Amino acid sequence: MTPTPTNHINRTPKQQTTELQQPQPSAKKTANDFIFGKTLGDGSFSTVYLAKEVHTKKEFAIKVCDKSHIIREKKQQYILREKEALNMLVNDPYFVKLYCTFHDDRKLYFVLTYAKNGDLLQLIKRLGSLDMKLTQYYTCELVIALEALKAKGIIHRDLKPENILLDENFNILITDFGSTKILKQEPLINNTDQSQSEQVPRRRNSFVGTANYVSPELLTDKLTTHACDLWALGCVIYQMLTGKLCFLAGSDHLIFNKILNRQYEYPDNFSNVASDLIDKLLVIEADQRLGASDSVPYASIRNHPFFDDVIWDNIGGMPPSDSLEKVILDKNEEGDEKDCFEKAEPGLNNRQMARLVGLSMDSSESTLIYDGSVESLNLDNNQTKNGKEDKRKNIADLTPIQIETRLSMQRRSSKYHDLVEGNLILKQGLLDKKKGIRPRRRMFLLTLGPHIYYVDPQTMVLKGQIPWTEDLRVEVKHFRKFDIVTPNRTYLLEDPEGYALQWQQDIEDVHEFYFNKKP
């Protein structure tokens, strides 16, 4: 089925300076200049929060990066590259804006544009799939954005719907430049088939990006070029029109095999003109992809029949789709997100972190009662209180009176108390538990007993517990991933905050207490 003819897209051009004209926070800021409202998303070593500047009341998305993780995993160059790419794109539309950065002893902070309408993946899920007009519109915006990246020598390398945000007018804002390659920073390779401007860096032997959108050359150690973003564009167009991933399988290895063999299918009655565009972008040889060899960047993409009715100079304003009206109504019914700032105080200390993850506070000690991924309740940890060092007791040193006191507090303040059969919670945190293709996020609770319970935090239903035996052991894969190995089953877990080593230590301490030896 070919797309239904539409009127020319003829709307008010997007104002490139809209974001830049808004009041910007001073470059010299601290976390105390912002009130942190809720978590918007998280990555391997960072979390993004909705925040409001105290003085201007303006809302931002603040990306908070953990310094220790960055150093331990040698990700300094990722952070520097992301900051440089954002600074290079500050005057371009269709990208999030970096307003300022600052840091403290433990964290780095990136103050970014807050995209009020979520991301493209959320929109696809809400609608099931996008109609032809809306897909065409967003593809136009993506092409213009990719032209800007190419002009500046930036390869995104992780273009996917989750990284395509939507502003208040439902226009795109590309984000997450941690995997970016900036060509001018890399040693170049002379290639007789390329002009000086198209010389490309030699790729390091490492995989970047997301499995479902990665281009074949990134899997086969070939040169990294702007064409890898064109491959991802083809995958995104397919997903917008079908609501499904172009390349999907039970593991990354199987996905990579499908990509390398170009194995994907279209549903019945799929648009011929759309499939032709996708097919010409999803070409194994990078230099053969549509637009890859254009003397005028991506002119051949603009000239494809998929865009026959488009007036490129007039892309902007609200996207031309009636289906967005339902999304807007649904979002209005969800309530005022400003409620997330209620009872919030400036800064990102332990008390505010506890509020953000829904944990309780011990008013007598002003420390976390339960662990959200940073500190444990009873296990060894040094903490400063009123200028003095406070050494928390080891689990073996807890007296029956202390346990009963803490249980009394837990009974009053923890919504998980009954689900753990009244056992004292020593540590809790959200972990991704892998089962099947998609991991499931569960609240894991380490308690006296010993027990490790896991609960669905949305339905508040106990889903099970990991059986303790003398042979139980914890194996850390890297700073986020770890396995709990029991005689009959291995539990594959991932801590989105990156504290796998802390989970290992705490579980081993409890195991040693009960079994008198390290697992």
The catalytic site residues sit at 158
With vertex at residue 371, the alpha carbon angle to CA 368 and CA 372, rounded to the nearest 5 degrees, is: 105
Strands 46-53 and 34-42: what pairing? antiparallel
Q: Residue 404 is inside which H or E element, if any?
A: helix 400-413
Say if residues 473 and 507 touch (Cβ distance below 8 Å). no
Nearest Cα to 11, choosing from 95, 110, 132, 137? 137
Nearest Cα to 501, choosing from 485, 482, 517, 484? 482
Q: Counting Cβ atoms within 10 Å, is residue 160 exposed (0-12), middle (13-18) or buried (19+)?
A: buried
Give CA–CA dist 511/519, Å, rounded.
7
Strands 98-103 and 367-368: what pairing? unpaired
Say if residues 50 and 123 touch (Cβ distance below 8 Å). no
Nearest Cα to 186, choosing from 141, 147, 223? 223
Instruction: List, in order, residues 6 or more apart from 503 with CB less than 8 Å away.
Output: 427, 429, 431, 474, 482, 493, 495
Cα 15 to Cα 20, 21, 96, 171, 445, distances in angstroms? 10, 10, 14, 11, 49
Report which DSSP code applies to 266.
P
Say how many C-beta atoms besides its own lie within 10 A of residue 64's C-beta. 21
Give CA–CA dist 456/430, Å, rounded.
10
Query: Can you name the residues that pair with 21 across neighbouring β-strands?
Result: none
Give CA–CA dist 168/39, Å, rounded.
19
Say if residues 65 and 73 touch (Cβ distance below 8 Å). no
Nearest Cα to 169, choosing from 334, 320, 310? 320
